[in-house]
Chains A and B, each alone.
Chain A
């Protein structure tokens, strides 16, 4: 038990700091910046989870927005049908309201994640037998099918979209999820068995001959990646706008996420975080360029990829000083 606490102390502290920061930001931060911060948090979850599939395991998926949509709509359905009215009926106020809403958000987010994970399993089982381009096309197709299904489901607002009642995903909610997403995926893939994810990307064939059940690991990566895409979708659906339309989860969104993974470095979690933050902030920073914004954005991307084709971080990671892993390399003589 002692080891468990030692291993998780830093994570707990980070979560507490996030909660405190969220409390402060809500009161004292300009709503515009607050919203951007929340967007960055959601992007981090999406990009890190996609990196698990595309970068770390090397299975090129183009359907992440589809899984995000599943999470968003599943959570929206829950809120519209049950959670929203129930919270409304409680008529709470003050601190009590805050706590209940936070817990409700937690449940909603998990439901969104689980729904997306199930979709990931159903899609992944057959699709992961495909390689390279074929997998990319299959997942792209899945994403489009999902979008069209929601577009034609009138109960969920159809193409017009659907408005979602509170609870709202505030800074604290989003960043608690982001921190857990990063920590869990990091710990998994840098564990002794979790190195198998990298092995599959490096050489699937050699991985199988050392006894790694490659299909199982690909499915784990796909399901876990989809879970967090669903979490991000649920958070997105419950963000301040409180309104989602199927068009927000189109193929362009999937491609945007892949661009962020590639820019950060396929296989680097820190790279994904940096890229998610940078590419979410960049359009805001470039507002001054008005209609040339997209041109400048694209030029910057091309420039980075030309100078660093392996992405900003390659496969390297920035490790925090309190980082605990059992990997102790002996010093190289």
Chain B
């Protein structure tokens, strides 16, 4: 199986601070990989360089055989990479439905004149996107929330709505940044099931950052550990749990206990 995402020797420096250093990571099509590490390890920064928020100061990133480092974020999104954010970044004042509709935006051409004149073609296209948005919201159990503005939704639903918006862009690779943060046990359990279900249904490759070790260990067949910007370990949950450097990195933090 050839890798869908190939990260080679990527480094990201902010001023003098090396947030990520010499990172090599390959993710094959269909994989579900966990990315863990103590606070400030550089996990979110990895997502930021993959999605084009930052241009890596070193190394190269290839997606589906094409180099994407240095590409504008919206172009990377159109290549098929979607993400959620650690600190939820929904379009707050827009309805849940609008948030998802915006995710679908790349599946229709902008037609300024058509939308001003409300031509039949434009009308049909809109109806198509709306239908798909409704379906996607229903699939994530957000059907009843669609008319409400996204900032009024309960926290757990906001997290799910971010996933819905990401899915609407029809990604091949989905990056989830701490999707379970702030969720209670029941919500976490539901989310675990949801991730599994969506992965199969949408043929997704997923890279997930998560602090909840129990959850990561239970859903990810492969885990990569970052510390101080460097990859210190990679392997199955069992291997990671026994890895000395990992245990060391987490000392003083919560130890990874499954």
Using CB atoms and an 8 Å cutoff, list the residues of chain A in contact with chain B. Answer: 1-4, 7-8, 183-184, 187-188, 191-196, 198-199, 202-203, 205-214, 216, 220, 224, 267, 315, 324, 326-333
Contacts and interface: CB of A to CB of B under 8 A. Distances in A.
A192 B108 contact: yes
Interface residues of B, number: 55
Given A192-B101, A192-B108, A212 B74 contact: yes
7 contacts: A193-B105, A195-B98, A195-B105, A198-B94, A209-B73, A210-B103, A326-B126
A211 B112 contact: no
A209 B83 CA distance: 7
A224 B101 CA distance: 23
A33 B143 CA distance: 51
Contacts of B144: 330, 332-333
B93 A191 contact: no
B102 A210 contact: yes
Nearest to B100: A210
Nearest to A190: B115
List 4 tightest A-B contacts by C-beta distance, closest first.
A329-B147, A7-B118, A211-B77, A191-B115
Interface stretch (B26-34, B84-92, B189-197, B210-218): B84-92
Nearest to A193: B110
Interface in B103-139: 103-106, 108, 110-112, 115-120, 122-127, 129-130, 134
B97 interface: yes
Interface of B: 51-53, 72-74, 77-78, 82-83, 85, 89-95, 97-98, 101-106, 108, 110-112, 115-120, 122-127, 129-130, 134, 143-148, 165-166, 168-169
A328 B74 CA distance: 28
B101 A315 contact: no
A212 B115 CA distance: 17
Given A191-B126, A193-B110, A214-B74, A207 B102 contact: yes
Contacts of A4: 117-120
B143 A208 contact: no
Contacts of B90: 203, 206
B77 A209 contact: yes
Given A191-B115, A195-B94, A208 B89 contact: no
Contact of B104 (A183, A192, A216, A315): A192
B236 to A, nearest CB: 31
A220 B111 CA distance: 11
Contacts of A332: 144-145, 147-148
B74 A211 contact: yes
Given A205-B89, A332-B144, A327 B97 contact: yes
A51 to B, nearest CB: 15
Contact of B120 (A1, A187, A191, A326): A1
B126 A192 contact: yes
Given A192-B108, A194-B115, A7 B123 contact: yes
A267 B115 CA distance: 19
Contacts of A183: 116
